[in-house]
Chains A and B, each alone.
Chain A
Amino acid sequence: MSFLVNNQTCVPKRITDARIISIDQVKPEHFRVKLHCPYIALNSKPGQFIHVQVSNSYDPLLSRPLAVFRSQGEEFEILFRVVGKGTKILAEKCVGDNLLIVGPLGKCFPVDKKCQKAIIVSGGMGIAALMSLIEGMTDQDIHVLLGVATEKQLIGEDDLNDLGVKIHIATDDGSRGYKGFVSELLLKLINDGIISTEQNCIFACGPIPMLKSVAYIGQEKGIQTYVSLEERMACGIGACMGCACRVVSSGNKLEYKMVCKDGPVFNARELIWD
């Protein structure tokens, strides 16, 4: 068994306080925040996420979903990119501030006994949701593909080096590694025989067009593919029906599942992409 992940037992969701231990601006737009929060740090599983109340004013009103990037002991880290109001406020917090957090939320990446190796594909911020999965893998044959628009946005490389996995980089502008999309790089690595398709699984997180291409490659090459989706959320716990994604139901019909409760991790075969 190559994965330490156990998806059988999930702890109850809770509201907890998390105290900010450190804030690092790792790239112009990217922040890494370490939080003291035993309940989440000890109980959250790779693929699960948390809901963060960024402000107790009513604007922004709703919590922001973020992945648990890495955890150690009673502390865990989040890694995020400033894209709007909520993430901007979060980036401007101070060490010692308390954040209200709800979690752990959603389903984790599954244990797949057929997988002895793993292909991790990250697009943009996707690595934030994938790092803890990689951390939990004991197998040595792990390939991690990082795709970003430009080298300036490349994150997580140092962590991955520490974990001793094989790293492959793609940038849209060719400023680093393969020039082009990370899905193209995936196909190339498979076709060139650098990544084997035997007993392998793909775990991917990133923008929808990228996930769609990766799911297609997985299907073509006969590799089991799991993806972690993002959707706009309100409750984060399956109550509002707000974060719908399209899936194929048992009767081969369109059905909506909730990213926050039924996901964010889905078997790519389940999903309808457009």
Chain B
Amino acid sequence: MGLIEIGKPELSVRIADISMKNPVMVASGTFGYGKEYADFIDLASIGAIVAKSITLKPKLGNPPPRVCETPAGMLNAIGLQNVGLEKFITEKMPFLGEIGVPVIASISGEDIEDYVKLASRLNSVKGLSGIEINISCPNVSCGGMAFGGDASTTFNLVKSVRAVTELTIIAKLTPNVTDIVTIAKNAEEAGADALSLINTLLGMAIDIKTRKPKLANITGGLSGPAVRPVAVRMVWQVADAVNIPVIGMGGIMTAEDAVEFMIAGASAVAMGTANFVNPQAVSEVILGIEKFMIDNHIKSLQELTGSLKTL
């Protein structure tokens, strides 16, 4: 047994220009602007932080109720309530920028113009490592998913954003499409540096006593363990078809779940709903991945990513 065998496995990973000390990120909209979790976890230990999606102007969000529980999951229709671009820069970035891990802003708009304005303003913001383009929110009436559902719109949008920023750009894809691979290829061709998937699956729940929908918005986005098999399948399909890194998410609760996504082809993973269930979940998954690698004599993440075997 050589020394290498007992050495620590290498957890660091690079997503385009973003260097992360481990592959576990937090998913947009589930981690606030970082501060909310500071009581629970050492924020500096996270691979990267993706902030709540922002719009040009502050957004009020949808009327309540906005969330409801479903079997092994939850529906949400927040409606992108956020502080808006300027407050994000002046009030949220100073804290996020000091943490010492890559910070990725998530942007959402009603038309391509919005995305371009957001990206060009963010391009010069200190402490920001990347921009995630949210073309996949199911809970707003215009924009969001309306973009991510169409291949040529995805192409035009990503290309327009590419033209105004040198920051790493990640296109976040919606699972609410018939052919995610075509959308993914268009995003890649338009200049996306990486892809995030999946956003939430459009769903609905009804209170049978009142016959009213459980969400005021009627429909909402499904997340949590319930969506994981769908997400793993999509990550596998997309990773197989593109040459840029894929960030896998959807129902990751444990290190084993994260490893599953990596085997399917993800270079990094993100955790969302798990943070609500256990605000220390990210730390536990990071430790768990390391342990899995040690136990299975895996020295680097490259040995895992896309290592799916056939039956």
Asked if A15 is an interface residue, CB under 8 A from chain B, the answer is yes
Beta-carbon contacts under 8 Å, A253-268 to B: 254-256, 261
A61 lies within 8 A of B64 (CB): no
Q: Which of A27-35, A122-130, A175-183, A236-244 is near enough to bind chain B?
A: A236-244
B66/A243 in contact, CB under 8 A? yes
Within B53-87, which residues are at the interface with A (CB < 8 Å)?
60-69, 71-74, 76, 78, 81
Cβ contact within 8 Å between B76 and A242: yes
Question: What are the residues of chain A within 8 A of B76 when measuring CB–CB?
Answer: 234, 240, 242
Contact with B along A56-81 (1 / 0, CB 8 A): 00111111000000000000000000
Is B32 positioned at the interface, with any CB of A under 8 Å from its CB? yes
Q: CA separation between A242 and B36, bound complex, in Å? A: 14
Q: Which residue of A lies closest to B65 (CB)?
A: A232
**Residues of chain A in range 201-236 having any CB-CB distance to chain B below 8 Å:** 231-236
What residues of chain B lie closer than 8 Å to A14, measured between beta carbons? 39-40
A12 at the interface (CB under 8 A from B): yes
- Please pick, from B40, B61, B224, the residue contacting A241 in the complex, using a CB distance under 8 A: B61
Minimum CB–CB distance from B35 to chain A (whole Å) comes to 9
Binds A, one of B17-25, B175-183, B271-279: B271-279
- The A/B interface has a contact count, at CB < 8 Å, of 105
> In the complex the two chains form, is A240's CB within 8 Å of B78's CB?
yes
In the bound assembly, the distance between CA atoms of A60 and B69 in angstroms comes to 8
A102: Cβ under 8 A from any B Cβ: yes
A269 at the B interface (CB under 8 A) = no
A contact patch SS: loop
- In the assembled complex, B88 has its CB within 8 A of some CB on chain A: no
Q: Are A243 and B36 touching (Cβ within 8 A)? A: no
Query: In the complex, are the beta carbons of A240 and B276 less than 8 A apart?
Result: yes
Nearest Cβ distance between residue A257 and chain B, in whole angstroms? 10
A235 touches B39 (CB 8 A): no
Provide the bound-state CA to CA distance between A58 and B277, in Å. Answer: 9
Q: Is A245 an interface residue (CB 8 A)?
A: yes
Residues of B within 8 A of A19 (CB): none
Chain B positions within 8 Å of A59 at CB level: 71-72
| Contacts A62-B69, A256-B60 given; does A239 touch B225 at CB 8 Å | no
Q: How far is the CB of A57 from chain B (nearest CB, A)?
A: 8
Interface residues on B, range: 35 or more
CB distance from B76 to the nearest CB of A (A): 6
Task: Report the interface size class on chain A.
Answer: 20 to 34
With A62-B74, A244-B61, A256-B60 already in contact, the answer to whether A239 and B40 are too (CB < 8 A) is no
Does residue B9 face the partner (Cβ distance < 8 Å to A)?
no
1/0 contact string of B91-107 vs chain A (CB within 8 Å): 00000000000000000
Instruction: Determine the residue in chain A with the shortest Cβ distance to B33.
Output: A239
Partner of B253 from the list A58, A243, A246, A256 (CB cut-off 8 Å) is A58
A168 is an interface residue with CB less than 8 A from chain B = no
Say yes or no for B237: interface residue by CB 8 A criterion.
no
Q: Judging by beta carbons under 8 Å apart, are A61 and B40 in contact?
A: no
Q: Is the CB of A243 within 8 A of B32?
A: no
Which 10 A-B pairs have CB atoms at the shortest separation, nearest pair first? Answer: A239-B32, A242-B67, A239-B36, A58-B72, A235-B276, A12-B39, A13-B39, A234-B276, A244-B64, A58-B225
List B residues at the A interface (Cβ < 8 Å).
29-32, 36-37, 39-40, 52, 60-69, 71-74, 76, 78, 81, 224-226, 253, 273, 275-280
Which residues of A line the B interface, CB within 8 A? 12-15, 53, 58-63, 100, 102, 231-246, 254-256, 261
